[in-house]
Structure 1
Amino acid sequence: MMKKVFHVIPHTHWDYEWYFSTHESLIQLVYHMDEVMSALENDENDTYLLDGQLSIIEDYLKQCPEQLERLRTLVQQGKLKIGPWYTQTDQLIISGESIVRNLQTGIRLAEELGPVMAIGYVPDAFGQSIDMPKIYQGVGIDKTVFWRGLSTDVCQAREFNWQSEDGSQVLGYNIKNGYFVGSHVMYSDDPTPLCHQAEDGSLAANIAIPLGGDQRFVDKELKSRLDISNASNKDYQLIESSYDKLFADIEAENLHLPTISGELIDGQVSKIHRSIYSSRYDHKYLNDRVERRLSYLLEPLMVMAGAEGIETKPALMNNIWKTILRNHAHDSAGGCNTDKTNKIILSRFEEADQASDSAVDYLVRKLAESQPTAEQGGIDGRVTLFNTLPYARNALIKTTISTSAPSFILLDMEGQEIKVDVFCSKRVYRGSIQRDESTNDPSLYYYQSDVEFYYPLPASGYTSVQLVEGEGDAKTTAIASDQLVIENDRYRLSFEQGQFVLLDKVQNRAWNDCINLIDMGDDGDTYDYSPPENDWLIQLDWSQATVNVVKQGFSESMVINGVWLLPEDLTERAKQQCSAPMTYTMTLRLQHAVAGDESALPLTIDANFDNQVKDHRVQLVVTTPFETTTNWSDTPFGVVERVNVPERLHDWREQGWKEEPSPIYPMLHLVNIHDQSCSLTLLTKGIKEYEVRANNQIALTLFRSVGWLGKPDLIRRPGIASGQQFKYIPTPDSQLQGELHCECALVIEGNFNPARVQTLWQAYAIEPLVYQNQSLNQFTNTLKYFVMHPLTTEVADHRAGIELDSTDLVVSAIKPTEEGDGTLVRLYNPSSETVTVAGHLKVPTAETSVTEVNLLEQPIADAQSFNGQLGLGRFKPKQIRSFIFK
């Protein structure tokens, strides 16, 4: 029998921010790095793992650029272990593209310094996504080390092979006792208790003992401490080591290891914070908006602009990505931070939001204003419509038109009139502002009209319509209705006796009392929801609401306004008293289609709240007329099936789990339940958590209001406080007092198709871009006031770009390559079934070279030529494939 060898691995876990701010952490980092490098140079330590994230190295070198060569030397010598992450991302509520860009950024920065640690090292992330093995393999990583999420129900061993559905596999190691246990070596002469703990569940004779901790100093006395440990116990050998050496020695043992698959989100041996996905909803909403804009608007728009000769800006894009990647570390993404830290996180979101929005505005304007002028076209004006998704859409365009005359019409470029719904029009002054409006120049007034119209849009391209003033009817078409019913060819929603009734016209089935808002107490913290001991569940009584129906030419809306009296705090809730008002407006909307698939038109729900209540959780609950035992949600590159009643829900305390395995789950953009004949999908923008409730209910957690960073002995999470366990830290900002906006949509279909529902989400969440070339309103965006040169070559009226012709695949990215010399298209099969004939990619250039690449944009196959249409062939279950076109 081999003598067991314990690999003591020196490291630090450097939380980017938490109950301290990144600025406070930076000061300690600057001096910490001096100590680390000195210890390595003086051979006090052989190696040191700098937490696997490059953002802290980037920050250090920004403050201490003179240390670059010193640091690079240690990396090249293999003493300082760096990479592969930019920040140690959350894996459950962060988009797949963000995770890929995080690894791309970290690996590229690390390669500038020396060898990259090719290990998916995530010592503290709150769970591991089902998609990580294939993501790791896509960037050349075949091993992973993590702490949280793996239970003995899934795997009893520390060592295992973790496999994705496409066959991608990584060798995994679970540091189930945490990344900090090795400090025992530094404070005790007898390593026996530590070794017993570390070998529990180990199949290998080589076992990890991580020596580090949060912002822990370098242990310079390690060598002498190991001598003492080895002298006091002859049964074990403790060596100073690294994860590279640990894995090499485990592989040399040639063990038969178990193979596991799926997501790892169990809270048996460590807290997983199963309800952190709804903390600081305001941050999650912003993050989702920026991710959507970068992946599905700005990058495809840069490809369009590049085709017209506008230079792509890789550094600009990378800097915007890096700004939000800094918000994706587990604490930052979760929102479990102090208020001062969350203010910094919010400021980064706002920076990325403004930069990405401005870039979209600039490119749209540059392209539109480079089209033929009104005089050249012989028309009064031009409105340019952009579709950044890779399929043609007959989309409902919603925009504001500015005109000198109160009436106007829109024509296509062949002169055919387009039916337009004008639902709001107002007269606006464009002259210099005056204190006395009666002195305004009457000739400087114009009209702003909010309109909707259907128009076919090309895939990944743009098209134009003509504006003609002085014709048509300027009257608005919005009509108030006394009947509390909205409908289209697919659905009929009525408000009857204080309840919403949804009629599915295709299946001819009524969903009675189907939509509700529920409020409950929250005695938790910014890590976890926890019901108070004396909770009071309140369902919104719509009887006090004001309900109005407005019918327009292309859509119908039901608007519910009211004030919901709720318990002000947990004290009032325990007494079942209500004194705190929460004003709300909820708009349910159905649109009519002029052509195409009616089932693609969801029932959209927009809700606005003025939250003045503390310590509570608000959910939107949809009740279905069918029962299921499982539910489905989207993941970074696919979907995952989850049970409605977790196996350990009723005996987790007896089994010693760290927290309740509630049916509260993370989501990116959608949740689905379905039976053999009916499928319900809820689509969201920024809502990241759902709960499966009894009686066939799916509940979206709209937001939580809590006021503490960590509390002990919660009902769902007994024991010590999460976060800072030695001090109560108030977080009043996390009560989210003020206005909140929530958006979601509901789709009913006959069957569940993963690719279809993800494509429906894209159509719902990514609206067409519109630009009217006019000079009446100089403030359609911030910089419209300033002049701009058009391109030297005119932009055509109409252009189609890359088009995905497939019902089985989903597009993840269309972007300029990192070198700016081509276009990358990333696709994935979200289904658990193999797609044998996946369809085609059509590109606008007749003769094109294509190369299949990995997630680092490195070739994995030889380049080949094709003539405008690329057959995509076979896709394995859940497989990701990327192509570069030149």
Structure 2
Amino acid sequence: MNTGSSAISPVTVFVVSHTHWDREWYETFQQFRLKLVDLVDQVLNLLENEPGYEFFMLDGQAIVLEDYLAIRPEREADLRRLVQAGRLLVGPWYVLPDEFLVSPEAIIRNLQRGLRVSRRFGEPMMIGYIPDPFGHIGQMPQILHGFGISAAMLTRGLGDEPVELRWQAPDGSIVLLVYLRAGGYGNFAWFPKRPDLFVADLADRVREYLTGAATPEALLLNGVDHLFPQPELPQLLAAAREALPAWTIRHAALPDYIAAVRASLAADDRALPLVVGELRSPQRFHLLPAVLSTRMWIKRANDAAETLLERYAEPLSAWGHLLGGPDRSAQLDEAWHLLLENHPHDSICGCSIDQVHEEMRPRFAEVMQIGEALMGEGLNRLAAAVNLPPEERGSEGVGEQPVPSGHFAAQVEPWPREERAVVVFNPTPAGHTGRVEVEVRLPGPPQAVEVVAEEGSRMPAEWLVRPETFQGERAVDGDEFRRLLASARVGHFNFRRIRNLRLRIDGEAAELDILLRDDERAPDLTSIRATLDRIEAEAPLDAVTEARVRTHSMATGRLAFVARAVPGHGYQTFRLLPARERRRGGAEGRVSDSPSNVIENEVFRVGADRATGTLVLEDKRTGRVLRGLNQLVDGGDAGDQYSYSPPAGDRQILAPAQVATVQVERSTVEQALTMRYSLAVPAGLAPDRQARSEAITPLAVIVTAR
């Protein structure tokens, strides 16, 4: 297509003014927000006072509206008026994430929040505008389709493909894709201010764009990272219209360009080339893949937070609400809000300045605090709804034991038995067998316990932390005994809250057992006093001359066991019983009962090669042996936070500096093989960064296979 200034085929040029706003990157969020406020102030003033400056796009991110209004709340009505007029383009995203480092659910929540925030002001821009992320997931067309978005626009991930494409997800969803192959999202960011030079530059940019286009529409994106609006643009566009009368040159909004492309395709884009799935080509634009492992603590923290919210806090809160608990959707929304603030691509990729990433830590911490609190609340409510025998539920209330002849016995509530129930929930869709750790409270530490499933089978179990309890016993005379009972009437024993009281009287002798609370619940004074009143009516306390007083506190231990066949999105109840005898299956401590350097089950045998620091795996079914597994290789990196670049004269460290030590631990629950060694690695890069230094430092390595 001829795009010179002479008479040519009709061309429509769409000049879209915008900024690409990295919320935090080479400056912190607060430092960048100073500039954001100035930028949006200028945009609003231009849109309101310069008739030729018609449109501006806020980078497809709704969070910039919140960030701006936190400083300029008085301008919310101005924003709303311009968005509703279609002159200020907002959304659909909340932030522009890295698609490979956040979960699919997080991408969906990102769009949900972005659209919700945008609709507070007007209609959002319904285009999947993803200009700068470092490659794109294959499911993106599917996700966009789910929100009614039928077009996407991107820069990275393709090669020599044309501008207009169809992009298909694995499920068959297809969107119209505009590939910004000619200069990316800043292909008209800067231009000459002299009219004749501006016209020539614009014509060159249009020619370059249309070289790869199938339609006569050219998109010139007038913006780039943190670029402020250019107020001289309307006058320069007027000069271009006069110099190029055969062209239609518009200051436009991005949806105008998409609509024109669809019209040129006669609403039938099936002739366009089809690209399928993940887009990861670096042919035209860098993908910077090393960011996938930069600052790994960020990736681990994000994975933990997403898993907590998606797999535990949300489903458990929903189930708890169905069982009559409070609606925690507002707390969950705040947790997602905090997490999404860590998802902009320069944040989650770890490629910003140090202070930016330090400020991510408290956001992750708050997400975990909210998620863990909601998970615990939901688990407690579900456990309370499970049908357990009364003695396992630990229900409050007055209860009496059989009264032997000549004795009187009473207690405030059923005395805690050594038998306990543990309810294991599975928040995933599929059934699962796995190791479970649980905190167990007992009135006294048994030597061993057995974990018994609902059908009666015994589960392998072990104590990780054995229960410990304080138990005191003393003999008192009748006066001290009556003083203690008077104190018990107000729910306290030596300034500790009473959970349970058990009393036996036999003539002049008495036995008093007091179980102290280990929580913040108030004593049940009504039940305590009613119990003591009945005792006095049946057996006068004045007759008691001696008593044995025992105090108990609930013991807390940590138990690990194998929970078998817990149904998906369901639960199974396991009973903890005192072991009748020391037997396999009773919970004992971890032991190292074999000098062998292998661990094995019925399928595999895993051993250690101490000379190389690697693992050896044998498939016992076939006899096949795989050696050299889990080898750690230390190499140099002379690159930066974006790119891995080994030094030209690098030397790799493959083997331990000395023979590794191996320890094997076995218990009824699991087997663990731990190998310890050190690598003698260069201390850093040489001054010229072409090799690693000659100075050596030890790097301790601990490898555990379970």
TM, length-normalised to structure 1: 0.62
Matched, 1:405 2:445: yes
More helix by share: 2
Which of residues 51, 74, 84 is equivalent to 2:92? 84
Deviations 1:311-370 (A, max 9, x none): 332221111112111211111111110001111122211221222122212222343356
Aligned match of 1:384:
423
Alpha-carbon contact 2:290-2:643 (below 8 Å) kept: yes
Structure 1's 458 and 571: CA in aligned 2 closer, same or farther, altered over 3 A? same
Amino acid at match of 1:165: P
Q: Is the 8 A contact 2:350 2:641 kept in 1?
A: yes
SS at 2:683 equivalent: coil
Secondary structure of the residue that 1:476 maps to in structure 2?
A: coil
- Find the aligned partners of 1:120 and 1:130 in 2 and give their Cα distance: 14
Deviation at 1:461, TM superposition (A): 2.3
Tell me the SS of whatever aligns to 1:294. Answer: helix
Map of 1:101-500 to 2, 5 A cutoff?
A: 101-152=109-160, 155=161, 157-176=162-181, 177-185=183-191, 187=193, 188-189=197-198, 190-191=200-201, 192-233=203-244, 236-254=247-265, 256-369=271-384, 372=390, 373-374=393-394, 379-380=417-418, 381-403=420-442, 404-410=444-450, 412=452, 416=456, 418-426=458-466, 428=468, 446=555, 448-469=557-578, 472-473=581-582, 475-496=588-609, 498=611, 499-500=614-615
SS in 1 for 2:438: strand
Q: 2:77 corresponds to which letter in structure 1?
A: E
Greater gyration radius: 2
Match of 2:103 in 1: 95
Distance 1:551 1:268, change over 3 A: same
Aligned residues: 578
Q: Give the direction of change, closer, same or farther, for the CA distance of 1:397–1:26 in structure 2 (3 Å limit).
A: same
Counterpart residue number, 1:547 = 662
Which runs of 5 or more residues in structure 1 are unaligned? 433-440, 590-886
Task: Tell me the distance in 2 between the aligned counterparts of 1:384 and 1:213.
Answer: 55
| Alpha-carbon contact 1:185-1:225 (below 8 Å) kept | no
CA distance in 1, matches of 2:451, 2:552: 27
Q: For 1:289 and 1:126, how far apart are their aligned partners in 2?
A: 23
Aligned mate of 1:577, from 694, 697, 701: 694
Instruction: Output the CA distance in 2 between the equivalents of 1:447 and 1:231.
Output: 84
Paired with 2:384 and 2:309, the residues of 1 have a C-alpha distance of 23
Distance in 1 of aligned mates of 2:89 and 2:48:
14
Q: Write out per-residue CA displacement over residues 447-498 of structure 1, whole angstroms, 9 at most, x where no aligned residue.
A: 6244323344233123333334585546425224211111112211112463
State the 1:390 CA deviation: 2.3
Are 1:562 and 2:671 an aligned pair? Answer: no
Partner Cα distance (1:248, 1:320) in 2:
37
- Aligned to 1:130, the other structure's residue is in SS state coil
Structure 2 residue aligned with 1:11: 18
Alpha-carbon distance change, 578 to 501 in structure 1, aligned in 2, over 3 angstroms: farther
One-letter code of the match for 2:662?
A: V
Query: How many Å apart are 1:400 and its aligned residue?
Result: 4.1
Greater shift, 192-201 or 276-285, is seen at: 192-201
Inter-CA distance 88–375: structure 2 relative to 1 (3 Å threshold): closer
Sort the Cα spacing of 1:501 and 1:413 in 2 relative to 1 into closer, same or farther, 3 A. Answer: closer
Where do residues 790-809 of structure 1 align in structure 2 (5 Å cutoff)? none
Distance 1:580-1:44 versus aligned 2 partners, 3 A rule: farther
Q: Residue by residue, what CA displacement relative to the aligned partner does 1:742-782 show, whole Å, maximum 9, x if unpaired? A: xxxxxxxxxxxxxxxxxxxxxxxxxxxxxxxxxxxxxxxxx
Question: Is 1:34–2:41 an aligned residue pair?
Answer: yes
Q: Is the 8 A contact 2:650 2:691 kept in 1?
A: yes
How far, CA to CA, are the matches of 2:192 and 2:152 in structure 1?
26
Q: Which residue is 1:64 aligned to?
A: 72
Q: Shift in Å at residue 423 of structure 1?
A: 5.0
Q: Residue 183 of structure 1 contacts residue 211 of structure 1 at CA under 8 Å; is this kept in 2?
A: yes
Distance 1:489 1:60, change over 3 A: same
- In structure 2, the CA distance between the partners of 1:400 and 1:18, relative to structure 1 (3 Å rule), is same
Q: Which runs of structure 2 are paired with 1:677-716 in the superposition (5 Å)?
A: none
Amino acid of the structure 1 residue aligned with 2:175 = V
Contact 1:420 / 1:452 at 8 angstroms: preserved in 2?
yes
**Residues 277 and 60 (structure 1 numbering): CA distance in 2 closer, same or farther, change over 3 Å?**
same
CA distance in 2, matches of 1:575, 1:344: 32
Counterpart in 1 of 2:407? none
Distance 1:471 1:447 in 2: 21
Query: Distance between the aligned counterparts of 1:130 and 1:417, measured in 2?
Result: 45
Question: For residues 408 and 483 of structure 1, do their structure 2 counterparts lie closer, same or farther at Cα, with a shift above 3 Å needed?
Answer: closer
2: CA distance, partners of 1:261 / 1:412? 51
Does structure 1 retain, via aligned residues, the 8 Å contact 2:27–2:356?
A: yes
**What is the letter of the counterpart of residue 390 of structure 1?**
P
- Rounded to whole Å, the distance in 1 between the matches of 2:73 and 2:470 is 51
SS of match in other structure, 1:179 = helix
Q: Secondary structure at 1:360's aligned position in 2?
A: helix
Deviation, structure 1 residue 515: 2.1
Identity of aligned residues (%): 28
Normalising by structure 2, we get a TM-score of: 0.77
Deviation at 1:542, TM superposition (A): 7.6
Three-state SS of the structure 1 residue aligned to 2:703 is strand
**Matched residue SS, 1:519:** coil
- Give the 3 Å change call, closer, same or farther, for CA 470–24 of structure 1 in structure 2: same
Counterpart secondary structure, 1:106: helix
Counterpart of 1:618 in structure 2 is none
Question: Take 1:303 and 1:390, find their aligned partners in 2: how far apart are those partners?
Answer: 15
Aligned equivalents of 2:703, 2:328: Cα separation in 1? 40
Secondary structure in structure 2 of the residue aligned to 1:207? strand
What's the RMSD between the two structures over aligned residues? 2.7
After TM superposition, the structure 1 stretch with the greater mean CA deviation from structure 2, 95-104 or 254-263, is 254-263
Task: Return the offset for 1:151.
Answer: 0.6
Call closer, same or farther: CA 1:542–1:469 in 2, change over 3 Å. farther
Task: Give CA deviations for 1:535-575 in whole Å, capped at 9, x if unaligned.
Answer: 11111328532111112223211001233221110129936
CA distance, structure 2, for counterparts of residue 451 and residue 98 of structure 1: 32
Structure 2 residue 554 is the aligned partner of structure 1 residue 515: no
Q: 2 CA distance for matches of 1:384 and 1:427?
A: 19
How far apart, CA to CA, are the structure 1 residues paired with 2:76 and 2:627? 66
Q: What is the SS of the residue equivalent to 1:135?
A: helix
Give the superposition deviation at 1:232. Answer: 4.2
Residues 11 and 212 of structure 1 are in contact (CA less than 8 Å); yes or no, is this contact kept in structure 2? Answer: yes
Point out which structure has higher relative CO (alpha carbons under 8 A, 6+ apart). 1
Are the aligned partners of 1:405 and 1:469 in contact in 2 as well (CA < 8 Å)? no
How far 1:144 sits from its partner (Å)?
0.8
Residues in 2 aligned to 1:525 and 1:453: alpha-carbon distance in whole angstroms: 45
